[in-house]
């Protein structure tokens, strides 16, 4: 299994965003997590297409765009045109989740679906053959800096069991409260894409990335 660190720019210093993205690339980061929040599906408002379009010009990283917005079907094509390499929509935000998946596929990028902590894995298990990734939120979506909800670990394990049983090639991404302790918890449960915000951006960015990647390598060697 391939494990990836996916830093979330929600925790970046936006006065130095371009500089920090370059530092991530120097440190060997391949994926960048981009949280788009609309103030409706979640309470907060983050950023949108102009920011993604701007940083796309200067970065070769894989842009993992997470739409925490109501009726995301309206914007899928726009975000792809701005530079998204994958688009993740929330099961709870879509009136027709199957249609949203089709729109992402038609746009030619990877398909992700996400569920909140209270949403059962069973709600999306019938769609696993149609997606590339499932994002399990391990905090309530909408704010950075929250603590990992331990009850979500069972959901990761449940999802991993279904994927393995069905022989599917689906990544499990987790987002929320990832730190030195919860990183191992999430990976042992079955997550292979780890979104991290303050864990990466607080302090020396490149040093943090190297430390986290080394820790992930050490954990993966023990659990694989």
Q: What is the pLDDT of residues 105-136, one digit of tens each?
A: 999 999 999 999 999 999 999 999 999 999 99
Instruction: List phi, psi (to 5°) of 144.
Output: -85, 165
User: Which residues participate in the annotated binding site for substrate?
Assistant: 8, 66, 142-145, 175-177, 197-198
pLDDT digits (tens, 9 = 90+) for 67-120: 999 999 999 999 999 999 999 999 999 999 999 999 999 999 999 999 999 999
pLDDT of 1: 83
User: Which residues participate in the annotated binding site?
Assistant: 8, 33, 35, 66, 142-145, 175-177, 197-198
pLDDT digits (tens, 9 = 90+) for 187-217: 999 999 999 999 999 999 999 999 999 999 9
Predicted model pTM: 0.96
Topology (CATH level 3) of domain 4-223: TIM Barrel (3.20.20)
Enumerate the active-site residues. 35, 175
Burial 183-217 (b: 16+ CB within 10 A, else e): bbbbbebbbbbbbbbbbbbeeebeebbeebbeebe
């Amino acid at each position: 299994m391939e494990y990836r660190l996916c830093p979330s720019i929600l925790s970046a210093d936006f006065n130095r965003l371009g500089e920090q993205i370059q530092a991530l690339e120097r440190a060997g980061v391949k994926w960048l997590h981009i949280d788009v929040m609309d103030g409706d599906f979640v309470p907060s408002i983050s950023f949108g297409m102009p920011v993604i379009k701007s940083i796309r010009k200067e970065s070769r990283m894989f842009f993992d765009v997470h739409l925490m917005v109501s009726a995301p079907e309206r914007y899928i094509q726009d975000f792809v045109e701005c530079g998204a390499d994958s688009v993740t929509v929330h099961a709870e935000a879509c009136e027709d989740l199957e249609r949203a998946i089709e729109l992402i596929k038609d746009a030619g990028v990877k398909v992700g679906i996400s569920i909140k902590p209270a949403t059962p894995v069973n709600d999306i298990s019938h769609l696993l053959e149609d997606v590339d990734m499932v994002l399990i939120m391990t905090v309530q979506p909408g704010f950075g800096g929250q603590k990992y909800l331990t009850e979500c670990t069972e959901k990761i394990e449940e999802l991993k069991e279904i994927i393995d049983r069905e022989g599917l090639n689906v990544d499990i991404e987790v987002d929320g409260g990832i730190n030195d302790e919860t990183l191992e918890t999430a990976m042992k449960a079955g997550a292979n894409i780890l979104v991290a915000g303050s864990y990466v951006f607080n302090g020396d960015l490149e040093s943090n990335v190297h430390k986290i990647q080394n820790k992930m390598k050490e954990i993966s060697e023990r659990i694989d």
